[in-house]
């Protein structure tokens, strides 16, 4: 008996104690606002806007079961720490600071979609998820629904899909088709990479002279070129577009190297013709010394690797650049040889810009088969969570032209470069 009643007593004491705990917790002054869920709402234009601080906005879930809660009635939207992506034209970046008039741009075929998906994922994870810049995709055929669905879903900014006009992707009437065909046959026999390809030539010519005047690109001032299968190895926690604007840069690179001579035997002759026809376009303080070891007589084949570029579109649309492109185009080397857009852009930049309008982004760690740019300097790599192998850095190797760039422009090489030669 006695044991049973003392057990009851223990139960009652426990129950009273439990009730007291519940009472104290519920009436305490801990603000319940910290339990508010992070929520999003969609504007009709499908742009997403963060209404609370917290992680950067992501695509609003479309599954109705996962519908985000509506903001509480009467509660003021708490935007501390974020800048809402509101303005229809150029909303300010979520990472703060003014948003630039800029876009990513990619020339791609439908079949590139999965290789490109990897690139987009890298760009978003390392940079754009904080900034939400737009992305323009260009193709000489209509983009497939799958291509659009996959890429729109991955890009955190707005996506735009453009068809390339036929006359920007075909033989101009001044090109002798038979002569061009004979060259392709010859290059095929010499086993020159893409030597017999027509589409590769259209692509090089398009990147050299047309992408920046596509109607979708006319709306922008800055571009960042991205190709399929690239990687970014470090966090980029500032806006390179803004850096370019603030520092009056027009063109930039991460990798440079020597061009395959067989593809451009007469390119430099064409450039010299242009220089004598248009001396007014040659900039004072240019980087001719980086292109030529004999004051312009011959080309040393150095070029910036243009599959990565951040640059100014208004420069490419300038009379100087267009005079240059038209002059080269008329000489026919895009079809009678196999001129690449890399030497074409690089020569233009080195001759028609001042040296300090061209920027080397040591801090943008980049891979495009087969070369790696891994930032020199362990401190930087650790701080920016880089995952590239420093020993793979191509910058100071003998086949790179980056050492020469530093020497010609008088820049100081980053600490530790000697260890990576």
Ligand X SMILES: *[C@@H]1O[C@H](CO)[C@@H](O)[C@H](O)[C@H]1NC(C)=O
Judged by CB, which is closer to ligand X: 19, or 87? 87
According to the 3-state scheme, what is the secondary structure of 221-266?
Answer: CEEEECCCCCEECCCCCCCHHHHHHHCCCCEEECCEEECCHHHCCC
Cα three-residue angle 41-45-46, rounded to 5 degrees: 50
For the CB of residue 136, give the shortest distance to ligand X in the complex, in Å: 13
String of contacts with ligand X for each residue 35-74, x by CB under 6 A: ----------------------------------------
91 binds ligand X (CB under 6 A): no
CA distance 194 to 319: 31
Closest CA to 93 of 59, 129, 54, 124: 129
CA distance 240 to 229: 21
Judged by CB, which is closer to ligand X: 251, or 336? 251
Binding residue (CB under 6 A) for ligand X from 73, 89, 178, 297: 89
101 binds ligand X (CB under 6 A): yes
For the CB of residue 365, give the shortest distance to ligand X in the complex, in Å: 29
For the CB of residue 219, give the shortest distance to ligand X in the complex, in Å: 6
For the CB of residue 344, give the shortest distance to ligand X in the complex, in Å: 22
88 binds ligand X (CB under 6 A): no
Half-sphere exposure of 329 (CA within 13 A, CB side): 21
Binders of ligand X in range 346-405 (CB under 6 A): none
CA distance 152 to 142: 15
Local structure of residue 169 (DSSP, 8 states): S
Q: Which stretch binds ligand X (CB under 6 A): 43-51, 213-221, 325-333, 404-412?
A: 213-221
135 binds ligand X (CB under 6 A): no
CA distance 279 to 286: 13
For the CB of residue 166, give the shortest distance to ligand X in the complex, in Å: 25
Judged by CB, which is closer to ligand X: 92, or 197? 92
Closest CA to 318 of 270, 287, 280, 292: 280
Query: Across the strands, what pairs with 42?
Result: 48
Question: In this structure, what token pair is assigned to residue 336?
Answer: 């009678």
Q: Which stretch binds ligand X (CB under 6 A): 52-60, 217-225, 249-257, 283-291?
A: 217-225
Judged by CB, which is closer to ligand X: 44, or 88? 88
Binders of ligand X in range 301-330 (CB under 6 A): 314
For the CB of residue 262, give the shortest distance to ligand X in the complex, in Å: 38
**Is 309 noted as a catalytic residue in this protein?**
yes
Q: Which stretch binds ligand X (CB under 6 A): 164-172, 215-223, 252-260, 286-294?
A: 215-223
90 binds ligand X (CB under 6 A): yes
CA distance 285 to 38: 53
Residue 311 backbone phi and psi in degrees, to 5:
-155, 175
Judged by CB, which is closer to ligand X: 219, or 330? 219
Judged by CB, which is closer to ligand X: 98, or 285? 98
Binding residue (CB under 6 A) for ligand X from 78, 115, 221, 323: 221
220 binds ligand X (CB under 6 A): yes
Cα radius of gyration rounded to whole Å, the chain: 28
Q: Which of 231, 309, 337, 357 is catalytic?
A: 309
Judged by CB, which is closer to ligand X: 266, or 314? 314
Cβ–Cβ under 8 Å, residues 137 and 162? yes
Residue of this chain nearest to ligand X (CB atom): 101
In 125-228 the beta strands, taken as DSSP E runs, fall at: 134-139, 159-163, 222-225
Laid out side by side, the sheet with 222-225 consists of 159-163, 134-139, 102-107, 222-225, 309-312
Provide the annotated active-site residues: 309
Footprint on this chain of ligand X (rule: CB under 6 A): 89-90, 101, 219-221, 314
């Amino acid at each position: 008996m006695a044991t049973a009643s003392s057990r009851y007593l223990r139960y009652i004491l426990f129950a009273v104690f439990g009730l007291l705990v519940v009472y104290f917790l519920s009436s305490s002054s801990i603000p319940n606002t910290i339990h508010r869920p992070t929520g999003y709402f969609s504007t009709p234009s499908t742009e997403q806007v963060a209404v609370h601080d917290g992680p950067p906005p992501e695509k609003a879930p479309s599954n109705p079961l996962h519908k985000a809660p509506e903001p509480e009635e009467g509660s003021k939207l708490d935007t501390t720490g974020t800048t809402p992506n509101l303005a229809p034209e150029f909303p300010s970046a979520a990472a703060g600071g003014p948003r630039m008039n800029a876009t990513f741009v990619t020339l791609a075929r439908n079949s590139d979609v999965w290789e490109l998906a990897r690139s987009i994922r890298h760009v978003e994870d390392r940079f754009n998820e904080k900034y939400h810049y737009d992305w323009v995709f260009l193709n000489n055929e209509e983009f497939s629904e799958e291509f659009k669905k996959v890429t729109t879903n991955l890009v955190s900014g707005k996506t735009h899909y453009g068809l390339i006009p036929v006359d920007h992707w075909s033989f101009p009437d001044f090109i002798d088709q038979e002569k061009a065909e004979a060259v392709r046959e010859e290059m095929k026999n010499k086993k020159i990479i893409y030597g017999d390809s027509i589409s590769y030539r259209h692509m090089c010519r398009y990147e050299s002279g047309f992408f920046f005047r596509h109607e979708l690109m006319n709306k922008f001032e800055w571009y960042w070129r991205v190709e399929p299968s690239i990687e970014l190895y470090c966090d980029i926690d500032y806006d390179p577009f803004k850096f370019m604007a603030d520092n009056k840069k027009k063109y930039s690179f991460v990798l440079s190297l020597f061009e395959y001579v067989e593809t451009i035997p007469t390119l430099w002759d064409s450039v010299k013709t242009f220089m004598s026809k248009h001396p007014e376009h040659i900039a004072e303080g240019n980087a001719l010394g980086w292109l030529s070891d004999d004051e312009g007589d011959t080309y040393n084949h150095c070029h910036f690797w243009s599959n990565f570029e951040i640059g100014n579109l208004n420069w490419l649309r300038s009379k100087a650049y267009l005079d240059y492109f038209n002059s080269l185009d008329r000489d026919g080397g895009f079809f009678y040889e196999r001129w690449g857009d890399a030497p074409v852009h690089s020569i233009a930049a080195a001759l028609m810009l001042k040296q300090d309008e061209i920027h080397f982004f040591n801090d943008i760690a980049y891979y495009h088969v087969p070369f790696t740019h891994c930032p020199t300097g362990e401190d930087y790599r650790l701080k920016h969570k880089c995952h590239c192998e420093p020993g793979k850095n191509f910058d100071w190797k003998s086949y790179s032209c980056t050492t020469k760039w530093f020497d010609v422009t008088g820049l100081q090489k980053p600490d530790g470069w000697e260890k990576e030669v």
